[in-house]
A and B are shown apart, each in its own frame.
Chain A
Amino acid sequence: MPIGSMLGDIVKSFFKKPVTEKYPFVKTAAPENLRGKLVWNPENCSGCQLCIKDCPANAIELITIDKVNKRFVMRYNLDKCTYCAQCVVSCRFHCLEMSDDQWELAATHKEPFEVYYGREEDIKFLLEKAALGAPEEACPEA
Chain B
Amino acid sequence: MPRQKSERFIVPIGPQHPALKEPGHFEFTVEGEVVTNATARLGFVHRGMEKGAESRTWTQDLYLMERVCGICSHVHSMAFVLGVEKLANVQAPPRAQAIRELVAELERIHSHILWLGVAAHEGGFDTLFMFSWRDRETVMDLLETISGNRVNYSANVLGGVKVDINERQKDELLRGMDFLEERTRHYLKVVTEDDTFLGRTRNIGVMTFEEATRLGAIGPTGRASGLLRDVRMDSPYAGYPDFPIQIVTAKAGDLEARFVVRIKELFESYRLVREIVEKIPSGDLTTKIPRRIPEGETVSRVEAPRGELFYYIKSNGTDRPERVKVRTPSLCNCASVLTTAIGHKLADMPMILAGIDPCFSCNDRMVVLNGPAGQSLWDWEKLRQYGIEYYKK
Contacts and interface: CB of A to CB of B under 8 A. Distances in A.
Nearest to A9: B131
Contact of B144 (A4, A13, A34, A85): A34
A2 B197 CA distance: 10
Contact of B59 (A2, A33, A54, A57): A54
A82 interface: yes
Interface in B159-199: 162-163, 186, 189-190, 193-196, 198
A2 B148 contact: no
Contact of A33 (B145, B157, B193, B198): B145
Contacts of A54: 57, 59-60
A107 interface: no
A53 B291 CA distance: 11
Contacts of B157: 86, 89
B59 A86 contact: yes
A5 interface: yes
A19 to B, nearest CB: 6
Contacts of A112: none
Given A3-B195, A19-B134, A35 B145 contact: no
B148 A56 contact: no
Given A31-B148, A35-B148, A86-B59, A6 B194 contact: yes
Contacts of B318: none
A78 interface: no
Contacts of A63: none
A58 to B, nearest CB: 9
Interface string B123-166: 00001100100100100010011111100101001000011000
B56 interface: yes
B152 A82 contact: yes
Contact of A2 (B56, B134, B144, B195): B195
Contacts of B190: 5-6
B56 A56 contact: yes
Interface size class of A (residues with CB under 8 A): 20 to 34
Contacts of A113: none
A131 interface: no
Nearest to B58: A54
A83 interface: yes
B72 to A, nearest CB: 17
Given A82-B152, A85-B154, A56 B127 contact: no
B63 interface: yes
B233 interface: no
B52 to A, nearest CB: 10
Contact of B194 (A4, A88, A90, A98): A4
Contacts of A2: 193-195, 198
A3 B194 contact: yes
B182 to A, nearest CB: 12
A31 B59 contact: no
Nearest to A31: B145
Given A2-B195, A86-B59, A89-B162, A35 B154 contact: yes
A84 interface: yes
Given A5-B189, A56-B56, A83 B149 contact: yes
Interface string A1-43: 0111110011001000001000000000001011100000000
A62 interface: no
Interface of A: 2-6, 9-10, 13, 19, 31, 33-35, 53-57, 82-86, 88-90, 98, 100
Interface of B: 56-57, 59-64, 66, 127-128, 131, 134, 137, 141, 144-149, 152, 154, 157, 162-163, 186, 189-190, 193-196, 198, 286
Closest 8 CB pairs of A and B: A56-B63, A56-B60, A35-B148, A31-B145, A84-B154, A2-B195, A5-B194, A54-B59
